[in-house]
């Protein structure tokens, strides 16, 4: 089964996650690594309220991505 939240998808059978390439390279892969290691406190708290771990991972990535993208848009607008 494939789940999607915003710009991110996960295949629940293979655990393959896809999202915007630039974000994943710059920040997303490191965030995912921290989540999987149990080191992301915000994710750990949010996961307790999520319907399942797959959704929790996608919501965490989408939320972080929104901040990442917003920062880039703001900086581009200031130039």
Q: What confidence category does residue 37 fall into, taking pLDDT thresholds of 50, 70 and 90?
A: very high
Strands 17-18 and 2-5: unpaired
Tell me the mean pLDDT in the region 56-79: 93
Helix H, strand E, coil C: the string for 7-60 is CEEEECCCCCEECCHHHHHHHHHHHHHHHHCCCCHHHHHHHCCCCCHHHHHHHH
> Confidence class of residue 25 from pLDDT cuts 50, 70 and 90?
very high
For the chain, what's the residue count? Answer: 79
Domain count, the chain: 1
Q: Please state the pTM of the whole predicted model.
A: 0.90
Domain that residue 14 falls in = 2-78
Assign 61 to helix, strand or coil.
helix
* Tokens representing residue 42 in the block: 């915000």
Higher pLDDT: 26 or 48? It is 26
């Amino acid at each position: 089964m494939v789940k999607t939240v915003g710009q991110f998808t996960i295949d629940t059978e293979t655990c393959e996650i896809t999202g915007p390439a630039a974000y994943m390279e710059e920040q997303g892969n490191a965030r995912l690594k921290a989540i999987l290691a149990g080191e992301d406190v915000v994710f750990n708290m949010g996961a307790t309220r999520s319907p399942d771990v797959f959704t929790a991972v996608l919501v965490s990535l989408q939320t972080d991505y929104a901040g990442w993208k917003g920062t880039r848009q703001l900086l581009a607008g200031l130039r």
